[in-house]
Amino acid sequence: MSTDQTLSGEQITRIEGELAPKRPSPALTLTAALLGFALITLDASVVNVALPAIGSDFGGGMSGLQWVVDAYTLAFAALMLSTGAFADRAGASRAYALGTSVFTVASVACGLAPGLPTLIGARVVQGAAAAVVLPASLALVRQAYADPARRTRAVAAWGAGGSAALALGPLAGGALTTAWDWRGIFFVNLPVGAAILLLLLKAPRSPRRPAPLDLPGQATAVVGLTALTFAVIEGGPAGWAALGVAVAAAVAFPRIEARTAHPVVPLGLFRNRTVAVTVAAGAAVSVAFYSMVFVFSLFFQQVQHRSPLSAGLMFLPMTGLIGVTNLLSGKLAGRYGPRLPMLVGQGLATAGSLLLLYVDEGTPASLVAVLLVPLALGCALTVPPLTAAMMDAVPAERAGLAAGVLNSARQVAGGLGIAVFGALVAGDFTGGMRLSLVIGASLLLLTFGLSFRLAGRAASSA
For residue 25, the 8-state DSSP code is P
| Amino acid occupying residue 91 | G
pLDDT higher than 50, residue 462: no
Instruction: Give the helix/strand (H/E) hosting 404.
Output: helix 399-425
Each residue's pLDDT tens digit, 33-76: 889 888 988 887 788 888 888 988 887 788 888 888 888 988 88
Q: Are 54 and 173 in contact (CB under 8 A)?
A: no
Cα→Cα distances 103→39, 107, 130, 186, 432, Å: 9, 6, 7, 10, 34
Q: Residue 359: what are its φ and ψ, rounded to 5°? A: -80, 135
At 426 the three-state DSSP class reads coil
Rounded to whole angstroms, the Cα distance separating 110 from 43 reads: 12
Reduced 3-state DSSP string for 183-205: CHHHHCHHHHHHHHHHHHCCCCC
CA neighbor of 155 nearest in space, from 317, 52, 44, 34: 34
The dihedral formed by the CA atoms of 276, 277, 282 and 288, expressed in degrees to the nearest 10: 120
What is the separation, in whole angstroms, between the first and last Cα of the chain?
A: 75
Q: Residue 239: what are its φ and ψ, rounded to 5°? A: -65, -40
Rounded to whole angstroms, the Cα distance separating 457 from 38 reads: 33
Q: What residues contact residue 305 under an 8 Å CB cut-off, 6+ apart? A: none
Rounded to whole angstroms, the Cα distance separating 84 from 178 reads: 38
Instruction: Give the helix/strand (H/E) hosting 306.
Output: none
CA neighbor of 169 nearest in space, from 153, 189, 155: 189
| pLDDT mean over 324-335 | 75
Each residue's pLDDT tens digit, 121-151: 999 999 999 988 888 887 787 777 777 667 6
Pick the residue with more confidence: 190 or 237? 190
Lowest mean pLDDT among 84-93, 131-140, 237-246, 379-388: 84-93
Alpha helix positions (H), 23-60: 26-58
- The rounded percent of the chain whose pLDDT value lies above 90 is 23
Q: Residue 235: what are its φ and ψ, rounded to 5°? A: 65, -165
The DSSP result for 205-265, as a single string, is PPPP------HHHHHHHHHHHHHHHHHHHH-HHHHHHHHHHHHHHHHHHHHHHHH-SS-SS
Length of the chain equals 462
CA neighbor of 120 nearest in space, from 189, 184, 66: 66
pLDDT higher than 70, residue 209: no
At 153 the three-state DSSP class reads helix
Rounded to whole angstroms, the Cα distance separating 253 from 110 reads: 32
Burial of 372: CB neighbours in 10 Å, binned 0-12, 13-18, 19+: buried
Each residue's pLDDT tens digit, 332-388: 777 777 888 889 999 999 999 999 999 988 899 899 999 999 998 998 888 888 877
- In terms of C-beta distances under 8 Å and separation of at least 24 residues, what long-range contacts does 179-182 make, across chains too? 179/309, 181/53, 182/50, 182/53, 182/54, 182/57
pLDDT higher than 60, residue 6: no
